Structure 1
Amino acid sequence: MTKFSAGTVAWAIDPTDAHDERPVIILSHEKRPFSSVECTVMCLGTGAKNYDHYSPELEDDYLSGVSFTNTTYLMPWALYTIPPGAIQTGKASGELTEKGERFVKKALISLFSV
């Protein structure tokens, strides 16, 4: 079984059930307990700017090895634990750059802000 590093950007079966599949950022897999059955991800979306929640744009310089055709946004409130088998290993994937990692961390911290 492939274990994904934190910061991997990949496609997965959509845990929100809004689509068949969705891009996600792996937040925790290889260094977590029960990694054979659990992987924590943050969902990405193209319509998230329309929500009443903080959803910053994921710019190209935050990514390495993958890019998106449409403007894509972080959905920091959409955190899910999914089975590793839900990650589509046959599709394009990449990783966050160092700048991208800082960006995602700030988005996660925003969940604790008033």
Structure 2
Amino acid sequence: MSKYPAGTVAWAFDPTDAHDERPVIILSHENRPFSSVECTVMCLGTGAKNYDHYAPELENECLSGISFASTTYLMPWALYTIPPGAIQTGKARGELTEKGERLVKKALITLFSV
């Protein structure tokens, strides 16, 4: 089984059950306990701008090796622990650039803001 480094952008079976699949950012997998059965992801979405929460756009310069046809947003409130087998190996995969990593970190920090 492959272990994915933090910052990997991949497709997974949708942990929110809103769709069959959705893109996710892997936040923690290779360097965590129980990595054979779980990894932590942040969901991405195309309609997240419509919510009353901070949902920054994941611009193309935030990504390397993957791009999306539609405008895609981070969903920092949608953090899930999923089995590594839920990550689809036959689909496109990429990684966050340094700018993308900063954007994800900022989005996670907003969860602690008042």
Q: Determine if the TM-score, normalized by the shorter chain, exceeds 0.5.
A: yes
| Matched position secondary structure for 1:112 | coil
- Is 1:70 aligned to 2:70, yes or no? yes
Q: Percent identity?
A: 87
Question: Which digits, 9 at most, give the CA deviation of each residue in 1:18-51, with x for residues without a partner?
Answer: 0000000000000000000000000000000001
AA of the residue aligned to 1:30: E
Structural RMSD (CA): 0.4
Number of matched pairs: 114
TM-score using structure 2 length:
0.99
Q: How does 1:100-111 map to 2 (within 5 A)?
A: 100-111=100-111
Structure 1 stretches of at least 4 aligned residues deviating more than 4 Å after TM superposition: none
The corresponding residue for 2:4 is 4
Q: TM-score, normalised by structure 1?
A: 0.99
Within a 5 Å distance, the mapping from 1:40-59 to structure 2 comes to 40-59=40-59
| Equivalent in the alignment of 1:38 | 38
- Structure 2 residue matching 1:103: 3-state secondary structure: helix
Residue 84 of structure 1 deviates from its aligned partner by 0.1
3-state SS, counterpart of residue 89 of structure 1? coil
1:60 is matched with which residue? Answer: 60
Partner of 1:95: 95
